[in-house]
Chain A
Amino acid sequence: MECYLDNSATTRASENVIKTVTKVMDLDYGNPSSKHMKGFESETYLKDAREAIAKILKVNEKEILFTSGGTESNNTALIGAALANQRQGRHIITTCFEHASVLEPLKYLNELKDQPNFEITYLPVDSKGHISLDDLKAAIREDTILVSIMMVNNEIGAVQDIPAIGKIIKEKNPKTLFHVDAIQAFGKYDIFPKKMNVDMVSVSGHKFHGPKGVGFLYINDKVKVKPLILGGGQQKGMRSGTDNVPGIAGMAVAAAEAYGSKQENVAHMTELKNMLIDGLSEIHIDGVMIKINSYKDEASAPHIVSATFSPVKSEVLLHALEDRGVYVSSGSACSSNKPGLSGTLQSIGLSAKEADCTLRFSFCDTSTAGEVEYTLNQLKELLPMLSKFVSR
C-alpha cells in the first residue's frame, strides 16, 4: 500500500489543474505581453486567475501579485516592504519559529551594511507553538515597520490567532505593516486580509494541489513594496519576467477547488488528524517514548501531526516507513552529519535528541482513514524492532 502522508512538503496536482496547465502550454501558449491575439488570449488567463484568487480573499484583484512560490512571496514581502518603508523605521518583529524563507531575508536585512541596521525582534512561542499576545504588544514600537507571523507552522501545525494579532498591531501602531505567511494555511482556513488587519499574505501553489514554481503575494493597495525582480516591467513593474501563465492558471483552479469544498476537506482531515493522534497515544512499546507535538483541538491545523519517537532516529524510521510505502518527513536532519537541527522543534521545548527523533505526517483531502490505520500498524511493527538498534 502506498500512503503519501507528506502533503505539507508538496501535494499531487489535481486532475483539473493538470488539464488546465496542459491546455495553456499546448494551445494557449502566447506571451501575455504580446500585442497579438495569442497574447491577449493568454492574458485572459491571468485576469481570470487574479479575479478568482481575489474573490477568495475578498480583496481587489489589483492586490494580487503572482510570484514563483512561497519563498519569493516571503522575500518580496519582507525585503520589499522593509526597503520601501525604511524611512519610517527599521524595526521588524517576527517569531523564532518561522520558515527559513522568512528568517533568512530578515537576517539579510539585519546584516545589510547600512547604518543603522534593521533590528529584528524574535518572539518566543510556548510549548504548543503559540506566541503571547502580551509579548507582541510589548514589542511593538514607534519605529516598528513590519510584523511577520506565520498562520500555520509547517513543522507542527500550530495555528496563530491572526485576527487577534492584527488587532493588537494596529491598535498599538497603525503604521506597522502585518505580513502573514499563509503557505500552510491557504485552502484550510478563511483568510480575509481586510477583516484581519493583514497587509500582506504569502501563498504557494503546490501546497494545495496546484503546480510547483508558482505562488502569490497579496499586497494591500496602500502598502508600499519595492520590487526585487527588475526587467520588462510585467505586473505593473512589481515583478518582471514573463508571466508563468500555465502555473498561474493551474493555481487558480486549485484555489477554487480548495475553497469550493473547504468545509468538507477540513472536517475530513481533522478526523484523520484526531485518528492518528489517538492511535499514536495508544501505542505503548517498551523503550519507545512517543510525544505528540500537535493537538486535536483548534490549536493545531487539520492536516499536520508531528510526533517524537525517542530514541529512534527520525531518518531511520522515515526510511523504514518508506520501505513499507509510507512517505513522511523528518522534523529535522540527523545530527551526526548536520548539526542544523530544527529551530521550530527546539523553540517548543524539544531537546536536540528529541528533535532528531521527530516525524511529520501531513494529510490532504484525498488522504484516507485506511492510510492512517496502515501507517499506525507499520509503526507498531517497526518501532519495537528499530528501538533495539539505537546508539548505546
Chain B
Amino acid sequence: MDKKLLIKYSEIGVKGKNRYIFEDMLVRNINSALKVLPGGASVRKAQGRVYVTYDENDYDEAISALTKVFGIAWICPMDQYDKMGFEDIAQAVNEHLKNTYDMLEEHTFKANCRRADKAFPMTSVEVNESIGETVLNEFPNMKVDVHDPEIMINIEIRPYDVNIYSKAIEGLSGMPVGSSGKAMLLLSGGIDSPVAGYMIAKRGVSVDAIYFHAPPYTSERAKQKVVDLAKIISRYSGPIKLHVVNFTEIQMKIYEICPHDELTIIMRRFMMRLAEHFAIKNDCLGLVTGESIGQVASQTMQSMLVTNEVCTLPVYRPLCAFDKLDIVAISEKIDAYETSILPYEDCCTIFVAKHPVTKPKLDRIVKSEHKLDSIIDELMERAIETTEVIEI
C-alpha cells in the first residue's frame, strides 16, 4: 500500500482546450512547494487529478505547503493499493478507518464506491452495501447515515489500483500562480498591500513589487519589514522581484513646491508613474494596489481617479470593496498581520498634511504638478537609476 495525497482542483476543471496549461502550472507549483519536504515527493497528473507520492512522516509539512498553493480545492490523504478483490478491499477499509479515526467513539458513515474498472465482479451499489456490512460488523460504534454522514468512505476501483480515502482538507482554491501573467504590486509596510498581493496571486497572477523608501524619514528597519512582508507574500505567489526606490528627493521637492493639502495625491501620482516604469520594464500587465474605497483621503473615488490618470496600464485594486476588518482577517490568515503592525517609524507621516484634499480636481492637481516641471525629470531619472532590486 502507498500513502498518497489526492489533489482535487475545482476551477481548472471547467477550462476547455487550454486546460492542460493550467494543470501543468499547478503541477509545477505543487512540485516547487513540496521541495521543502525532507523525504522528497513526486507529483503526477492523471485524469483530471494530481497525485502526490511522499514520505508519510512529512504529512504535516506537506499539508502546510499544499494549503498555500493556489488552484487546489481539496487535499485527500489516500491509501492506494494494487488491484485486489472485495475481501481485501473490505479489510483495507477497516484498516483505513482504524488509522484515521478513534473507532471507540461513535461515528456515522457512508460508503461511496466508484467503479472505473468495469471488469470488477460487483457493481458500485453492491460494493457500498457490502462495505456497509463489513464496517458495521467490525466497529460496533459505527452507524450508517446516507444523507449526512460524518465519514464518507470513498472507494475507487480502477483497472490497476484501488484508492481509499475519507478525509478532505480544504485548499485555497483560486488559479495556479503563473497562469495569468504578472503584475507590479505597490507594497508598503502596512496591512493592506500585502493582502492585495495575496489576493491577486490567488487569481494566478505572478507578482513583482515596488517599495518607496524615504531615508532618513523611513528607517532601514522599515525597509526590512517590507522585505519580510514580500517574503510572506512569496510563500503564496512564488518568487518576487522587489524594487526599492529611493523617493526622498522627489518627496521633499513636492513638499517644498506644491500645496500641502495636495501632497499625498501628487506623491501618489509619482509613485504610480515609477511603478508603471518598472512594470513595463518587467513585462507586467498591470499595477496592483491595496487601496480600499474611502479608507483614507487618497483613496476616495475622486482621489483614485486623479492618481489613476497617470497610468496607461490597468490598475487592479483587489481590496477596493473590502472593509478594514475583512482585510485584517485575511492579513491574519496569511500570517502577515504581526509583521505589518510592527511599529518601525514611518516618519513619512510628516509629509502628510493635517487636512489633505479628499475630492481633488484633476486640472488643479495637474497645475500644481507643473510647478515641478523644471526638475522633475532629473529627479525621476535619478530615482530610477538608484533603484535597488531584491530577489525574494
Report the separation of the CA atoms of residues A390 and B352 in the bound assembly, to the nearest whole angstrom.
Answer: 10
B128 at the binding interface (Cβ < 8 Å):
no
Contact of A391 with B215 in the complex, beta carbons under 8 Å: no
A336 at the binding interface (Cβ < 8 Å):
yes
Q: Which residues of A contact B219 (CB under 8 A)?
A: 315, 319
Return 7 A-B CB contacts under 8 Å, by A number: A315-B219, A315-B345, A319-B215, A319-B347, A389-B350, A391-B352, A392-B353
Known: A318-B216, A319-B216. A333 touches B345 (CB 8 A): yes
Q: Which of A44-61 contact B (CB under 8 A)?
A: none
Contact of A392 with B354 in the complex, beta carbons under 8 Å: yes
Q: Which residues of A contact B352 (CB under 8 A)?
A: 391
Report the separation of the CA atoms of residues A147 and B217 in the bound assembly, to the nearest whole angstrom.
Answer: 42
A190 to chain B, nearest CB (A): 39
A163 to chain B, nearest CB (A): 41
Q: Which residues of B contact A322 (CB under 8 A)?
A: 216
Q: Mask for A299-324, Cβ within 8 A of B = 1, else 0? A: 00000000000000101111110110
Q: Mask for B235-252, Cβ within 8 A of A = 1, else 0? A: 000000000000000001
B55 at the binding interface (Cβ < 8 Å):
no
Report the separation of the CA atoms of residues A322 and B352 in the bound assembly, to the nearest whole angstrom.
Answer: 24
Give the residue name and chain of the B residue nearest to A311 (CB): B350
A388 at the binding interface (Cβ < 8 Å):
yes
A113 at the binding interface (Cβ < 8 Å):
no
Identify B343's interface contact among A318, A320, A338, A390, CB under 8 A: A338
Q: A316-B350, A323-B215 are in contact. List 18 more A-B contacts (CB 8 A).
A: A315-B345, A315-B347, A316-B347, A320-B216, A333-B343, A333-B345, A334-B345, A336-B345, A336-B349, A337-B343, A337-B344, A338-B343, A388-B255, A389-B252, A389-B351, A391-B350, A391-B352, A392-B354
Q: Which residues of A contact B345 (CB under 8 A)?
A: 315, 333-334, 336-338
Report the separation of the CA atoms of residues A19 and B220 in the bound assembly, to the nearest whole angstrom.
Answer: 33
Report the separation of the CA atoms of residues A52 and B190 in the bound assembly, to the nearest whole angstrom.
Answer: 52
Give the residue name and chain of the B residue nearest to A337 (CB): B343
A2 to chain B, nearest CB (A): 16
Q: Which residues of A contact B346 (CB under 8 A)?
A: 336-337
Q: How many residues of B contact A (CB 8 A)?
A: 20
Q: Which residues of B contact A392 (CB under 8 A)?
A: 260, 353-354
Contact of A313 with B347 in the complex, beta carbons under 8 Å: yes
Contact of A391 with B349 in the complex, beta carbons under 8 Å: yes
Q: Which residues of B contact A333 (CB under 8 A)?
A: 343, 345
Give the residue name and chain of the B residue nearest to A382 (CB): B216
Q: Which of B349-373 contact A (CB under 8 A)?
A: 349-354
Which of A317, A320, A337 has the most B CB atoms < 10 Å from its CB?
A337
B24 at the binding interface (Cβ < 8 Å):
no
B256 at the binding interface (Cβ < 8 Å):
yes
Known: A323-B216, A333-B345. A388 touches B256 (CB 8 A): yes
Known: A337-B346, A338-B343. A316 touches B354 (CB 8 A): no
Q: Mask for B320-349, Cβ within 8 A of A = 1, else 0? A: 000000000000000000000001111101
Q: Which residues of A contact B220 (CB under 8 A)?
A: 319
Report the separation of the CA atoms of residues A389 and B257 in the bound assembly, to the nearest whole angstrom.
Answer: 12
Q: Which residues of A contact B347 (CB under 8 A)?
A: 313, 315-316, 319, 334, 336
Report the separation of the CA atoms of residues A264 and B220 in the bound assembly, to the nearest whole angstrom.
Answer: 37
A96 to chain B, nearest CB (A): 24
Report the separation of the CA atoms of residues A315 and B222 in the bound assembly, to the nearest whole angstrom.
Answer: 12
